[in-house]
Amino acid sequence: MAVDVVIIGLGYVGLPLAREATSAGMSVIGFDVNKALVESLNAGRSHVDDLSDDDVTDMVKHGFRATTDEREIATAGAAVICVPTPLFEEGGPDLNAVQSATQAVARNIHPGMLVVLESTTYPGTTDELVRPILEAGGLVAGEDFHLAFSPERIDPGNKEFGPGNTPKVVGGHTPACTEAAAALYGRFVETVVRTKGTREAETAKLLENTYRHVNIALVNEMAKFCHRLGIDLWDVIRAASSKPFGFQAFYPGPGVGGHCIPIDPNYLSHNVRVRLGYPFRFVELAQEINATMPAYVARRAQNILNEAGLATTGANILLLGVTYKANIADERESPAVALARDLSSLGAKISYHDPYVAEWRPDIDVVQVDDLEGAVVSADLVILVQSHREYDADQLAAKAKRFFDTRGVTTTDDAHRL
Ligand SMILES: NC(=O)c1ccc[n+]([C@@H]2O[C@H](COP(=O)([O-])OP(=O)(O)OC[C@H]3O[C@@H](n4cnc5c(N)ncnc54)[C@H](O)[C@@H]3O)[C@@H](O)[C@H]2O)c1
């Protein structure tokens, strides 16, 4: 084939994948329905944290090209689908993008093609949703074309583990499909881990994220009662982490965010409920606990002001860092939004500072500040929501009238800690 692989969906997952394959010398194109995005990528502009404009320019120089013309899918030996899998308003999985991307592949599928789904989804999606769409034209998966699922494990902002050195889980519709997918990823990923089938690969991803979700909920719940009992949970976690086996540290925070942790476990619990008729109680409890954190932080903020004889109504509260994790620009599902709303409904005036965010619109009036030090000094309360590397928390806490550290990074008595 003229093209080794077409990446479908050029977002946080698809673009770094396209870069890795391009760097390995493969001939790569990207298909996306967003025309403006396609044009800006072809002009060498990146829209994701892990790639710079220079990286994208370099990809283009090495033959990468983005397109909105789905007929180009037919020129590729393999198609990898990396489109979004959000939730509907009522909490169920929204697979519209997966469905329409698969339909685009189906209209251009050819014998011998390898099709891989990377989007995070519930067990059975590859077999029950993707396969029938691809087979509608008469070709049969496992006989005429290869079909596999391979979850994306990208950790935006992680400098140590990227797409090349994070082991890649691969599960095919048949053993030959697994091998075809393993051969594709083997060209640019150091380690490929094979599963029995597509469902095991789909569930492996959901287990990983549910594990994080549940353990974050565990420490979040502990944070609440430790505070009331006068126990420093951060010190507790530091001590427990000295155990060289059987313990992995998770940290409390103002709520979970991003495109994965608050969403993916729902794919699993929804699936268990629909298919088996009972709740996946761990996930639902974790969901409930993590969702209370922004309101908990707002209540603690109110108490800190109260202790100083100040009302929350009219108080100037400065939020530091509004993205969902440190050192990246991604604001999706950031708990800072719920926190800002809660504080605003208590009557506080909210300002924010974030070196990664050009403009933030949480549906309430917020004022962006550029002068970090000046704003820290003048605010009635500063809340460290996201511990970006640009913030020297101890130094800022020393300057602030009141400083509430929700990330446990301060070491001085100047700060209140979650
Ligand atoms: N972002 C992460 O950190 C991360 C990590 C692991 C897994 N995932 C999973 O990977 C998948 C993709 O996530 P993302 O963060 O890259 O999303 P994204 O929103 O950053 O990018 C998705 C891209 O797909 C495009 N798209 C939408 N519908 C399309 C269609 N029908 N055909 C072609 N392109 C289409 C969009 O225009 C967009 O550019 C999701 O299932 C997500 O859960 C994401």
Any domain includes 263 = no
Amino acid at 120: T
Residue range(s) defining the domain that contains residue 97: 3-196
pLDDT digits (tens, 9 = 90+) for 340-370: 999 999 999 999 999 999 889 888 999 999 9
pLDDT at residue 171 in the model: 98
Any domain includes 201 = no
CA–CA separation, 264 vs 269, rounded Å?
A: 9
* 23-37, 152-166, 197-211, 360-374, range with the lowest pLDDT: 152-166
Any domain includes 266 = no
Mutational test site, ligand 1, from 67, 81, 82, max ligand atoms within 8 Å of CB: 82
Residue 112's contacts (CB-CB under 8 Å, 6 or more residues apart) are 77, 144, 145
Question: Both 180 and 304 in a single domain?
Answer: no
Q: Are 95 and 20 in contact (CB under 8 A)?
A: no
pLDDT at residue 237 in the model: 98
H helix intervals, 255-403:
264-276, 281-291, 293-307, 335-345, 372-378, 393-399
Q: How many structural domains comprise the chain?
A: 2
Question: Both 191 and 73 in a single domain?
Answer: yes
Residue 77 C-alpha to ligand 1 middle, in angstroms?
A: 21
pLDDT at residue 2 in the model: 87
Any domain includes 343 = yes
Look-up of token digits 């692989």: 5
Any domain includes 330 = yes
Based on C-alpha coordinates, what's the Rg of the chain?
Answer: 23
For 366, list phi and psi in degrees, rounded to 5.
-135, 150
Any domain includes 149 = yes
pLDDT bucket at 49, cuts 50 / 70 / 90: confident
pLDDT at 266 over 90: no
pLDDT at 213 over 90: yes
Question: Both 314 and 187 in a single domain?
Answer: no
CATH code: domain of residue 143: 3.40.50.720
Question: Both 24 and 168 in a single domain?
Answer: yes
Residue after which a domain boundary falls, among 149, 180, 196? 196
Question: Both 139 and 18 in a single domain?
Answer: yes
CB of 85 closer than 6 angstroms to any ligand 1 atom? yes
pLDDT digits (tens, 9 = 90+) for 301-355: 999 999 999 999 999 999 999 999 999 888 888 999 999 999 999 999 999 999 9
CB of 122 closer than 6 angstroms to any ligand 1 atom? no
| Residue with CA nearest ligand 1 atom 20 | 11
pLDDT, averaged across the chain: 95
Question: Both 139 and 24 in a single domain?
Answer: yes
Question: Both 10 and 134 in a single domain?
Answer: yes
pLDDT digits (tens, 9 = 90+) for 2-15: 899 999 999 999 99
CA–CA separation, 181 vs 176, rounded Å?
A: 9
Residue after which a domain boundary falls, among 196, 212, 246? 196
pLDDT bucket at 154, cuts 50 / 70 / 90: confident
pLDDT at residue 233 in the model: 96
DSSP 127: I
Question: Both 47 and 166 in a single domain?
Answer: yes
pLDDT at 222 over 80: yes
Q: Are 116 and 122 in contact (CB under 8 A)?
A: no
